[in-house]
Amino acid sequence: MSMRGARRPGGPTTRLAIRADLLDFTADPGWSAADDAPGLRYRADHWLLVEDGRVAGVQPGAPDASWQRQDHMGRLLMPGFVDTHVHMPQLEVIASYGAELLEWLNTYTFPAERRYADATVCEAGAQRFLDALLAHGTTSAVVFPTVHPGSADALFAAAQQRGMRVIAGQCLMDRHAPADLTVAVERAEADSEALIARWHGRDRLAYAVTVRFAPTSTDAQLAMAGRLLARHDGLYMQTHVAENRAELAWVAELFPNARSYLDVYARHGLLGTRSVLAHGIWLDATDRDALARSRSQIAHSPSSNLFLGSGLMPWRAHEDAGVPVSLATDVGGGTSLAMLRTLADAYKVQALQHVRLPAWKALYTATRGAAHALGLDSEIGSFDTGCTADLALWDWAHGSVAIARDDAARTLHERVFAWMTLADERNLQATWVAGQPLYRTPETTT
Ligand SMILES: [Zn+2]
C-alpha cells in the first residue's frame, strides 16, 4: 500500500471535516508579535475540509452529511510539525548525563548505533521512532538512521507504511568512529546507490546524502557524497556544522586547507537548496554568505544546544544574512521529541541574546517555514488547498496552571505564546497523516 489517505483508482472519495480553531501561516510573519502580523492566518471555530487526504477548503459552518464530521470546538488545529533534524537510533540515549558533543558521541551514541547492525533492532526501532514522532504532533522529519543500510531501509519502509513525508539516508562515516560503524567509500557509495534506487521519490520519501559530520569523513568520502548529489536529481544532503568549539578546533586540525568548518562541505559540493545543516552556531559572515547564496538551511536545535552546552545560535544574524532557518529537536542531544518544547527552548536561547522570538515566528518556522526551506511548501506545512492533510489537534491548555493562564490571555499572541511555552505532547489530542488518523489520545472522544 502507498499514500494512505489518497483515493485508490475507482475507489470512493473520502471526505473528512474537522471543527476547531485553525492556525497556520501564508507567509513568514517576520518578528512581529501583533495579532495582525503579516502571514498569520487564524480562523477561530472553522471547519477544515479534507478530501482524499488533501486539504479541500476551510469554512465557518458545518458541511453537509457527505462529510465525516469531527467536532473539536475549543481545540487548536495546526499543520503537523516538521522536525528537520532528529536521530532515529538515539531515543535510547536521550537524557544521558554529563558530556559535551565529542565525548557524548563516544560514550552514548556510538554504542547505541551499533545495535542497528541487527535487522530486527532496525525494524522495531523505526516503528517505535515514527510512532513517537506522531505522538508528539510531528508528521514530517529529516532523519539520521545509522551507517547500516538496513536502518535506512527499515525507516523508509515504516514511513511508507504510515504515508509520512520522511527524508533520510544511510549515515556516512569512514574514520574516527568504532570500526564497525565505519563503511569504506566504495562500499558506502554502492549502498547509497541501492538505497536511492529503492526509495528516492517513492511515495512521500526522499533520499538525503547523510554525512555524519566532517570529522568522521575522509576527503574521499566527502567527494563521494558530492558525486551522489551531482548524479541524482532532487537529493537532499544532511549533516552537522559548527556545533561546539572543541569540534571546530578538531575540524581545523583535520582540514587545514579549508577556510572554515562550513568550507569543508562547500569544497565538496555539499551545499545547495536541499542541504540541511544542523546547529550552525559558530559561523562567521563569510559562512553565512555561503549558506545564503546556496540557499542551504540551518536546522536550529535549541534543546540540544542547551543540553550539551554547545552555544547560542544567532538567529537574527543568520536571517539578516539571508540564511534559511528551520527548527529541530536533535534527539538524542535534544531532550524531547516535542517541537513545542523545542520552540520554548528556542525562545530562551534568543532571550539570552536579547532577542524576543514571537510565537508566530516560532510556529511558522516549525511548519510552513520548514516546508519552504525544504522546497515542500506545496505539500506540507499549511492549510492551503491541495496540501496533504498532515494535521495535529491540540488542547489549548492542560492542567490547572495552563488553564488559568489561557483564561487570562487578552490577545491572540498572548494566548498562543502561553500555549507554545506551556504545552507539550500531553496537549496533543490527535494526529492525522494524509487525512488518516494515526494517533489519538486514549481519552479523546469524537
Ligand atoms: Zn544531530
260-269 confidence digits (pLDDT tens): 999 999 999 9
Q: How far apart are alpha carbons 240 and 100 in whole angstroms?
A: 15
CA of 277 to the centre of ligand 1 (A): 9
> Which residues lie below 8 Å from residue 370, measured CB to CB, with a gap of 6+?
82, 84, 140, 326, 327, 381
409 Cα: distance to centroid of ligand 1 (angstroms): 36
Residues 6+ apart with CB under 8 A from 48: 17, 18, 20, 22, 55, 58, 77, 383, 389, 391
Distance 431 CA to ligand 1 centre (A): 25
So what's the pLDDT on residue 101? 85
pLDDT tens sequence for the chain (446 residues)? 344 445 556 678 899 999 999 999 999 999 999 999 999 999 999 999 999 999 999 999 999 999 999 999 999 999 999 999 999 999 989 998 888 888 989 999 999 999 999 999 999 999 999 999 999 999 999 999 999 999 999 999 999 999 999 999 999 999 999 999 999 999 999 999 999 999 999 999 999 999 999 999 999 999 999 999 999 999 999 999 999 999 999 999 999 999 999 999 999 999 999 999 999 999 999 999 999 999 999 999 999 999 999 999 999 999 999 999 999 999 999 999 999 999 999 999 999 999 999 999 999 999 999 999 999 999 999 999 999 999 999 999 999 999 999 999 999 999 999 999 999 999 999 999 999 999 999 865 55
For ligand 1, the distance from its centroid to the CA atom of residue 31, given in whole angstroms, is: 27
The CATH homologous superfamily of the domain defined by 15-79+383-440: Urease, subunit C, domain 1 (2.30.40.10)
In angstroms, what is the span from residue 401 Cα to ligand 1's centroid? Answer: 33
109 CA to middle of ligand 1, Å? 10
Domain ranges of the chain: 15-79+383-440, 81-337
* Whether the domain at 15-79+383-440 and the domain at 81-337 fall into the same CATH topology: no
List b or e across 434-443, with b for residues whose CB sees 16 or more CB atoms inside 10 angstroms.
Answer: bbbbbbbeee
- Cβ proximity of 202 and 44 under 8 Å: no
CA of residue 184 to ligand 1 center, whole Å: 22
How would CATH label the architecture of 81-337?
A: Alpha-Beta Barrel (3.20)
Nearest 5°: the CA angle 200, 201, 203 is 115
Kindly give the distance from the C-alpha atom of residue 318 to the centroid of ligand 1, in angstroms, as a whole number. Answer: 19
Class of residue 231 by CB neighbours under 10 A (exposed 0-12, middle 13-18, buried 19+): exposed
Task: Read off the C-alpha cell for 312.
Answer: 547560542
Q: Give the distance (Å) from ligand 1 centre to CA of residue 169.
A: 14
Q: Mark the residues whose beta carbon lies below 5 A from ion ligand 1.
A: 278, 330
CA pair distance 186, 184, nearest whole angstrom: 6
Alpha carbon of 17 to ligand 1 centroid (Å) = 37
| CA 116–ligand 1 middle distance (angstroms) | 17
Of 132, 20, 30, 129, nearest in space to 79 by CA: 20
**CA 372 – ligand 1 centroid, Å:** 21
The length of the chain in residues reads 446
pTM, 2 dp:
0.96
pLDDT at residue number 6: 53
pLDDT value of position 3:
45
Helix count (H) and strand count (E) of the chain? 16, 16
- The rounded Å distance from CA 317 to ligand 1 centre is 22
What is the Å distance from ligand 1's center to 170 Cα? 14
Q: 332 C-alpha vs ligand 1 centroid, how far in Å? A: 8
Helices 412-422, 339-351: crossing angle, 10 deg rounding: 110
**Cβ contact 113:181 at 8 Å:** yes
Write out the DSSP string of 28-77. Answer: --TT--STT-TTEEEEEEEEEEEETTEEEEEESSPP-TTSEEEEEEEEEE
CA of 330 to the centre of ligand 1 (A): 5
pLDDT for the residue numbered 1: 38
Quote the pLDDT of residue 190. 98
3-class state of residue 394 by DSSP? strand
